[in-house]
Amino acid sequence: MKKTCIIGLYGYSGSGKTSLLERITEELAKTGLIVAVIKQSDKTADLDEKGKDTFRLTQAGAKTTAFLSPNQAVLFLKQNKDIWDIIRLIQLSGDPQIILVEGANDNKIKKIRIGEKPERENTIYTYEGDFDGLMNLILKEVNNVRM
């Protein structure tokens, strides 16, 4: 497994994190990089649909259920996982060169702050609208990890 650059983004709800993450992802993909994204939240969510086979199997007691189709694979983990467990799973599934984590709060992850949210440990940049500067920083981080 190759080394992967991991960078998080954080900011208040409604600060534009997802829109900025979309733009960053598009630009990185255009350069040919393999990009993965994790959406981390402190809110609970259930993405599996009630009545669907995967939901029924989870309700029967499966802690992990996978759905495979010709165009995608979805893995449902009905258990609390550490961010590093998810990062390892993503690394095994596609060997990305960069993983972007929206809502990152792990102290080991380098982070970009968006807006006026109090600064978290290991923040390397505060985004204030300079997209080119942000992209230069991210590409520099990716290159540092890959060397």
Query: Model confidence over 22-56: pLDDT tens digits?
Result: 999 999 999 999 999 988 866 665 556 787 777 77
Range with the poorest average pLDDT among 11-20, 70-79, 82-91: 70-79
pTM of the shown model: 0.85
**CATH architecture designation of domain 5-44+81-146:** 3-Layer(aba) Sandwich (3.40)
Three-state DSSP state, 142: helix
Question: Residue 132 pLDDT > 90, yes or no?
Answer: yes
| pLDDT at residue 56, as a whole number | 78
Q: What residue spans define the domains of the chain?
A: 5-44+81-146
Average pLDDT over residues 69-96: 83
Average pLDDT over residues 59-79: 78
Average pLDDT over residues 122-136: 96
Residues 6+ apart with CB under 8 A from 67: 53, 54, 73, 74, 76
Q: What is the dihedral of CA 11, 14, 18, 20, to 10 degrees?
A: -70
| pLDDT at residue 40, as a whole number | 81
